[in-house]
Structures are given as C-alpha cells and as structure tokens.
Amino acid sequence: MHKRNRKRTGWMATLMLTAGLALGAAAARPVPNPVLLERMTNGPEILGIIHFGLNTFTDREWGYGDADPKQFNPAKFDADRIVGAAKAGGIGGLVIVAKHHDGFCLWPTKTTDYNISRSPFRDGKGDYVREIADACRRAGIKFGVYISPWDRHDAGYATEAYVERYHAQIKELLGGGYGPVFEMWFDGANGGDGWYGGTREKRRIGSADDYYRFSEIFRFVRELQPAVTIFAGENDGSDFRWPGNERGILDDTSRATIETVGGFANRRYGNPNYPKQINTGSPDGSCFRVCEADFPLRKGWFWHERDRGTTKNAAYLAKLYCRSVGNGGTMNIGLSPNKDGLLDEEDIRALAGFGVMRKALFAREVRDAGKPFNVVVIREDISKGENVDGWRLVADGKELLTGTAIGAKRIRLLPEAVAPEACRIEVTKGRGPVELRRYFADPALVKAILDAKADGGETDTAKWMTAGQR
C-alpha cells in the first residue's frame, strides 16, 4: 500500500497535473471505507462470477428447486482450467455462485441434504466450492462467494427456521475453512413460486432486510472476513451497488457517491430519487458505493446449448471495460461452465483475446511532448472523496475531451491519435488534483474497440498478441 502510494507520487511529479479550481469551502464529500479503498487501490478491477449447478443440466436460468441432485455430474470438471481461462482474460477475482435460487448447495453443507454430496460428482465426496477456491489460490487470484437468500427448495422458506439455516450457510463458507474471501455477493431476487419441499406454492417475505436480517449478516460477514467487500444492490451498508442494468455499462457521468436508499430497498426504494441515480450517482450523495457492472459473457448466466454463438467477442469486452472500469466502477463478467464442467472454447478464446487487447491498450505509455497518443487515463485520489465535477483535456490550447466525474478512473479512447506539444488537464468544476496518463495503441485496435458490437462475432487478436504479452 505504502509502496504503491510512493509510486503514484512520482507519477504526479513527472506529469503535468493541475490542482483544479478551489470553488470556495465546499462541504466534505463521503469517502470509501478503508476496506473498499484498499480494494479500489490494490484489488481486482475485473472480476468474474461463475454460474454452474443443477441449472446447467436442466437447461434453466432459475431452477424451481425440484431437480434431482443425481443430475449433477460434470465428468470433465477442471477448476484449474476454468480459473486459468479467467486469469488469461485479466480477471483478478472470481465470485462463486455456491447456491442459486434453486437451493442446491455446491459444497457438502451441514444445513441441508440438498447439496453436492447427494450427487455422483466425485462419488458423492466432491466439493465444487473448495476446488475453485484452491484453484484461485494456485493461480494467484481472489476468491469470492454468492449464496442466494431465496431458496425455492427449502420447505421452511419464509419462516424463521430458514433464516437461521441461511445464516449458517454463509458462516460455513466464510468461517475460514475456504480461505480469504474478497467479495460477498447478494442480489435482489427474493420470494415467489417454488417447490418448497413439495408444496409448490408462492411465498412472500415482505421486507428482505427484516426477514433475512441483512444488517446482522453484514456484521458477521465482516467479522469473519475483515478484508471482504460486499455487493448488495440497493443497500446503504454495502460497498458495491448494482448499476441498473446487466449489460456491463456505466454512464459516462457515473460516480460512486449516491444518495441513501433507506435500508435494503428490495426494489421498493425508500428514497424516491434513488432510481434516477442508480447508475449515475450524485455529486451530492451521502454514501460512497462503487458501481459494479455485471453482465453474462454469453446470452444467459447459466450455460445453454441454444446460446452457442452468443459469446461477447474480445473487442466488445474491451469496450465494456472502458465503459465500466473506465467510468469509475468495476467490471464483473458472468462465466458459465458447460455440462462437462468446462468453459466452451469460444468463451476461452474471447477471454484470452480480451486479455491481449487490454494489455495492448496500455503497453506504450507516452511521456514526452509531441509524441502521439490515443488512450487517456485520468484519476483522482478517492481517499479524499470524489471532488471533481467537471474537467477538460486541453491539447495545444484546444479542448480535446470533456467530462464531469473522474473518481477511481476514467478511460477515453481517441478515434484519431494526437501529438500536441502541450497537454494538460483542467478541473473546471470542483477540486483537484487529478492524475493523467497517456498511451499510444495500434489505431486499428482502438478502432476495433470503438466499433465493437456485442453480436459482432469473434475478433482476430493475432496482430496484437505480441504487444499484449510484453
């Protein structure tokens, strides 16, 4: 941490930076808590979330809770191959869907017999979560956990007995036996129709915060894993928020500061202004909660044969990187192993190509005046909050780029490279300082990323392979 800060001091001394305009004694803005600051400073900016389970074998996105565990038998499952493909794509942390809404647990939990020990996998002695966790450690990437609050299998769902089981499930996985957990992930799917032990009915829970006791969950999650960050959609107590779409896109103006929701909203927002700023945030916000832009690599979150050919190509992934991490947030790619327990080859190629392209974008830093650049990266010190509300990049006296928020990072690609003798960032509203870096990337690569479409097919990355692997 201290070494990183010293490096940044040198960066700021080397480049032309402006302190911005001090527009009076502005009120202090919210800052990230120490754990979130450490994550945004030194932790992964690209993560993946793996959806794999009975849904993979029953061809469902949301399992009903009635599937037979004997159907789960990925004959070729190889955690190292999955994690290796993720790492090749630049993914620095993997969140494992240890239990989805169908209630099937991918570890041999003591809380329910609806778990992996009732399947033929590893002759009933398997633990998918442990194998992924161990593979993450071997690969040097972070390990995270998602456990669905909603359970369409459990006969006690919507009663207090289920809540106690749910808390116990979280404690099993975060209690230390599976190692450090960098992110705990919650979503907003709660209640509805399900199998519920064979009753086949709809069950409602009212307030998710009251029923699941999320305040209590957050407290013991952080006690069990002091370095954990929490994604929890619309919840004031979380570190990361949902941006309102599952397309991986943050608004160009998106910022971490946002108005309070008023507890766990469960899509019944306590603050009527919140839905309008769920993606953009607000400069007047009272919470610091970073947007985590999640999206599936394929059409669906789980693997389906019908989705073959829908894998997002490498150039489009690079474009989404610029529109998520490059708009102040983090990027979360949904991975879906197939029935063999492996990622499809088209997914592996897309991830590898994305890793190559992202490295190639930032392989050649431009430090000298008069040298061409077409990639711009701007940052501010978020330990002091997000204090920039307007900025512009001026090249040889002409305005080249403008924007509002900066926060953790802004990335901008230029359709045409420029080579100004003088280049500076000006803070036009708010307070600096800001940090600037410039890069020159192959113009053909920049164009491919700017023009990329989700359904554009595979992208040839061979010409950038050398640059990307340097």
DSSP letters for 221-254: HHHH-TT-EEE-SSBTT-SEE--S-SSS---TT-
Structure confidence at residue 40 (pLDDT): 97
Helices (H), 299-344: 314-324
pLDDT at residue 240 in the model: 97
Largest Cα–Cα distance of the chain, in whole Å?
73
The helix-helix angle for 79-88 and 128-139 (nearest 10°) equals 40
What local confidence, expressed as pLDDT, does residue 148 receive? 97
Number of H helices, E strands in the chain: 13, 19
**Closest residue by Cα to residue 148 from 202, 111, 115, 184:** 184
| pLDDT computed for residue 19 by the predictor | 38
The pLDDT of residue 274 is: 74
d(CA 61, CA 228): 28
Q: How many residues does the chain have?
A: 470
Alpha-carbon dihedral sign for residues 352, 88, 101, 122 = positive
Question: Any bridge partners for residue 222, and if so which?
Answer: none
Identify the residue whose tokens are 């009251």.
210
Q: Which domains does the chain have, with CATH numbers?
A: 8-28+365-469 (2.60.120.260), 43-361 (3.20.20.80)
In angstroms, how far is the first alpha carbon of the chain from the final one?
Answer: 25
Say how far apart CA 270 and CA 259 lie, in whole Å: 11
Nearest-angstrom CA–CA distance, 180 and 450: 38
CA distances to 8, 290, 417 from 33, rounded to whole Å, are: 20, 11, 38
Residue 465: predicted pLDDT:
54
Q: Are 293 and 231 in contact (CB under 8 A)?
A: no
Q: How many CB atoms lie under 10 A from the CB of residue 1?
A: 8
- pLDDT at res. 168: 98
> What distance in Å separates the CA atoms of residue 281 and residue 267, rounded to the nearest whole number?
17
Taking only the tens of pLDDT, the chain with its 470 residues reads: 333 333 333 333 333 344 333 333 356 899 999 999 999 999 999 999 999 999 999 999 999 999 999 999 999 999 999 999 999 999 999 999 999 999 999 999 999 999 999 999 999 999 999 999 999 999 999 999 999 999 999 999 999 999 999 999 999 999 999 999 999 999 878 899 999 999 999 999 988 888 999 999 999 999 999 999 999 977 778 999 999 999 999 999 999 999 887 655 444 556 777 778 899 999 999 999 999 999 999 999 999 999 999 999 999 999 999 999 999 999 999 999 999 999 999 999 999 999 999 999 999 999 999 999 999 999 999 999 999 999 999 999 999 999 999 999 999 999 999 999 999 999 999 998 999 999 999 999 999 999 999 876 666 666 655 544 44
